[in-house]
Amino acid sequence: MFSYWEQKNFLKYDLIVIGSGFVGLSTAIHFKKKHPKSSVVVLERGIFPSGASSKNAGFACFGSLTEILDDFRHMSEDEVLGLVNKRYMGLKEIKKKFGKKELGYKDSKGYELLEESQLSALSELARVNKMLKGLFKEDVFSEVKGFKKYGFSDSIKMVIQNKFEGELDPARYLKSLWDLAGKLGIRLLNGVNVSELNKDTGQVLAKNSWDGKSFEFHGRQLAICTNAFTNQLLPQEDLNPGRGLVMVSEPLDFKISWKGSFHMDKGYVYFRKIDGRLLLGGARNVDFENEETTDFMINPKIESHLDRLANEVIFPGREIKWDTVWTGIMAFGKKKTPIIQQVGNRAVIAVRLGGMGVAIGWQVGKDLASLISEK
């Protein structure tokens, strides 16, 4: 039961954003900047954002060579270039906005490990560089001739460098967003699980995490930024969840001879070093069917696949011990672009961020905020 004061002051807003990941926070920030007098609240079911934004691997990437080649098979050249451009510009924008130090951002370059069966990608390297020249003004991809010194297993036949990729600490990025949201006077309410919404009236039913009781908010506008969990509120035709696993090792008792953000297996597997440890994740492709879920469980098949890669391919002959293992949930569709649209008289949506939300989340929120303002 709410007090008179709570009902009068806490339940009605000009904009209610549902979901406090990168996209929800960016939407709230951009809207509030445009409409400083408006009241804006972000409702989040978890103590922290509980989807992908604080669970990811922190790769500031826009596509490895084989990933881009794979995209060319399903998309037009303009579409692929558009995606790469959006991701790269997104990374530049957050560096400029929040500062590299605040984000824990390192321009450490991206790398891709190629096995024998993937060597054919090398014959396409020059063509891809040429296509990307308009965006980057110089070659993006190059062969790393002296890669043997990295000590990967003999199954690795070549390493490709991507000059423009980097890495960051995703929770520091979120902290920067929280700080900015706070400065602007945006309210962030955690532990509020939205169970129903009315996209035409702006009504939002939520559950209190401490007593499980339902209550009602009202927004003049609603922004739905629930990514992989959207189907529970507002079913979308082309949106499927995709779980991702990340593992961080105990501190290593040897020196790692490489640095940067590394990809394997068309980008499905990724690793980097953090704080003298190995961070390794991905491999959804080992069990696609069971990873299409919003359940945060750890899939033992994927965990052991990654463990084997660590001990046999990345550090052959070593026995890596794991300190922290977690999962997060992404959202995918047949199309690689996010859904950003109006869905009712009072509601807009920005979801389906895929595996590149670090790069595009800020801009997606900006686009969603302009969509609300245009109305």
Ligand X SMILES: Cc1cc2nc3c(=O)[nH]c(=O)nc-3n(C[C@H](O)[C@H](O)[C@H](O)COP(=O)(O)OP(=O)(O)OC[C@H]3O[C@@H](n4cnc5c(N)ncnc54)[C@H](O)[C@@H]3O)c2cc1C
Return residues touching ligand X (CB under 6 A): 18-24, 43-46, 49-53, 55-59, 61, 192-194, 225-229, 233, 244, 246, 281, 328-330, 353-359, 361
Give the number of other CB atoms < 10 A from CB of residue 278. 22
> Which residue's CB is nearer to ligand X, number 187 or number 318?
187
Q: How far is the CB of 237 from ligand X (least distance, A)?
A: 18
Nearer to ligand X, 43 or 181 (CB): 43
Shortest Å, Cβ 22 to ligand X: 4
How many Å apart are CA 121 and CA 124, to the nearest integer?
A: 5
Per-residue CA distances from 191 to 45, 186, 299 (Å): 4, 16, 27
Q: How far is the CB of 319 from ligand X (least distance, A)?
A: 24
Listed residue (329, 49, 315, 335) closest to 177, CA to CA: 49
The SS3 assignment for 261 reads: strand
H helices of the chain, in order, are: 4-10, 22-34, 65-74, 77-98, 100-103, 125-136, 170-184, 288-291, 300-309, 357-374
When the beta carbons of 124 and 303 are compared against ligand X, the nearer one is 303
The least CB distance from residue 197 to ligand X, in Å, is 9
249 beta partners? 322
One-character DSSP codes across 291-359: HSSS-----HHHHHHHHHHIIIIISTT--PPEEEEEEEEEEE-SSSSPEEEEEETTEEEEE--TT-HHH
Of the two residues 144 and 359, which places its CB atom closer to ligand X in the complex?
359
Shortest spacing between CB 145 and ligand X, in angstroms: 27
Tell me the C-alpha distance between 243 and 221, whole Å: 30
Min CB(283)–ligand X separation in Å: 10
Distances (CA, A) of 272 to 112, 197, 217, 281, 289: 12, 41, 43, 9, 27
Cα(277)–Cα(284) distance, rounded to whole angstroms? Answer: 22
CA distance 219 to 343: 15
* 24 or 219: CB nearest ligand X: 24
In the bound state with ligand X, the residue whose beta carbon lies nearer, of 152 and 217, is 217
**Cα angle, residue 86 at apex, residues 83 and 89 outer, rounded to 5°:** 145
CA distance 211 to 226: 23
Q: How far is the CB of 33 from ligand X (least distance, A)?
A: 18
We find the least distance from the C-beta atom of residue 352 to ligand X, in angstroms, to be 8
Q: Give the residue with the Cβ less far from ligand X, 226 or 249.
A: 226
**Least distance to ligand X from the beta carbon of 51, Å?**
2
Cβ proximity to ligand X: between 140 and 245 the closer is 245
Cβ closest to ligand X, residue 120 vs residue 341 = 341
If you write DSSP's letter for every residue of 187-216 in order, what string do you get? EEEESEEEEEE-TTT-EEEEEETTT--EEE
